Chain A
Amino acid sequence: MARATTREFMLGEGSGTGSGAQTLQVGVGPAHPAMHGIIRILAELDGEIISRADVEIGYLHRAFEKECEVGGWNNAIPYTDRLNYVSPLINNFGYASAVEKLLGIDVTERCKYIRVIMSEISRICDHLTCIGASAMELGAFTVFLYMIKAREFLWELVEDVTGARLTISYGRVGGVKADLPEGFGERVRKAFKETREVLDEVHRLLTGLRIFMDRMVGVGALSREETRAYAITGPMLRAAGVAYDVRRAQPYYVYDRLDFEIPTQKDGDNYSRYLVRMAEMEQSMRIVEQALAALPGGPINVDFEGRPIDPASYVDQGKQGKTEGLLLVPLTLSPNLQGQNRSVYERVNAPDKRVVLPPKETTYGSIEGLMNHFMLIMEGYGIRPPRGEAYFAVEGANGELGFYVVSDGTDRPYRVRCRPPCLPPLAALHRMIEGEMVADLIPTFGSVNMIGGELDR
């Protein structure tokens, strides 16, 4: 039958040419359980085979780039959280690094290690969510529950450091909000032990399973040349055999000092992408363990000298009636949130007065600190990078996450562009599903790991 033109396909006219069998147009999404977030795939079906597919995005466009132009340079950080919302720390640090590149400043060593640790924990959370959700869509609900359980343990770690589980706004231009809490290393060890157990169970449940392999092997394959031509990076490119990882190719922070592998596969189908993601989680855990061991300044102790009991335990003991001798216990309270006392704050933020807020003790304790704080916070003042532009790329969970920032010398960004790593795979999605059956759309879409916040910005 005559092939419908794009206009006919989109508007539905002329699709009945009256010459025998016709194709069926099915709209998958935007409100669909398997379309993570929202996206519409207009599939033209010939029986069970998708003969043509058109992917329509933009249902979660929240004007990230326009909103960044409205406030100051640090005001964009909460918006970057909500880009790739399953690994928000990576976006925070990518944006902060792009602005730091524009400013020409370098963060402290300890801050670099902390950024690496938190980025890798975020990356593990992202891969857990991706594999869990796509396994659930294939029917493996238990895998989803196990992976979300592991993700909860990691979110508890993130909450200890940043104060929030998901939208953390932890990065700042020039450093991070606060240092790691006390006992973090021990908690990481426990959480990783649980995570490794979960990964082991999932391997035993899925990796050799006949049903899983039948649905994923050879499905949604994209050749190496096409993957490159479509600018696809990240686990999808590595599953096609190209060992490109921004952490290795253009090392940033301290990745050049840490020892990790770049897992690759050969076939570029869904099963390879699954294997690459599972292997990357193990590598991320290795990176975190090495970074914790090499952290300069040692494990931090947020307690002050001579504080024998912390306020929460004091209150707990009072509630339980164990009050003997409590009145005699000296108790000093920190005026700051954990990790923000002057000695530790200065270890994790760049020593640049034009960019980084002074610690609270200095702000409230000295006139220079007060003025410094004023010059950074009040409207019209603030961080003023030189006129120019910079592009900084970090390895997001889906590939190369790039931030292109243009500054006009004022305290507001002139243009912030986020190069979304999951847009190229979506542009190539129609190549992956045309010729496949309708049911193959689901695992293919799941292995792409589309995150709406990042795709539509």
Chain B
Amino acid sequence: MTSCSSANMSVNLPKPASSIAAAWTDVVEGMTKSWMWWGMAMQDIKMRYRGSLLGPFWLIISMVIMIAAIGLIYARMEITQYLPFLTVGLVIWNFVSTVITEGRQTFLSAQNIITQVRLPFSIHAWRNVCRNLIVLTHNMVIVPFVLIVFGVHTGWSIVAIIPALLLLTINCIWISIFLGMISARYRDVPPIVMSFVQVIFFVTPIFWPPEALGIWMHALPLNPLFAAVDVVRAPLLGGAPLAYSWTVLLAVTVLGSAVTFVLFARLRPRIAYWV
């Protein structure tokens, strides 16, 4: 492992690699060390449920309880349509919102590691995303049950969730890095993000249909989180996402990744000081 750059025996050492290149190396290296973030994420899950009787099944149970509670109380339409809608929406939302709230802690929670060993910083973002993907996988178990029980016919459109989830994952990565950096630098950010996520939950059509928005429907493209939920939810329910959902999500992915990468390239050396 070289620290700043590779160097040879000569006295004239080459200049350190540019910050862009270093950041790129960081990201790529982080991605390729999948065994590491996978192991870390698994460890996180294990730690969370160590000593508990049901272990990771608590993830499913808590999700089921939430769906049941909200589904019974907020059912404004036909329950056979509402529950699948709610289930898929909540599972996706749960994934996205947890990545965001835990993204605040991407680097702060890894403080012990960051100040002890040199690892690519993106590892920690991957760890965060991977952990939540594992949780998502658990929760996803509920979805086929619900779809089958309520007779939802999905069809081939289900294939569309693959690029959708891929896109979501990419977004989760930059969000984890971005929020992780900002939160480490400005400690005011985590509570703000927390409040923000809670508010978004209520203004995003998850446990109520988008049509309920009325005239606010036109503002819906401004909510990228809706787009994120929509591109996964619609194919699973056998329909097609709203026309602009893919566009919004793609735009956010490109824009967010670019901004985050530039910021990451600039601020990466300072992260160790901040945590």
Partners in one complex: no
Residues of A within 8 A of B (CB): none
Residues of B within 8 A of A (CB): none
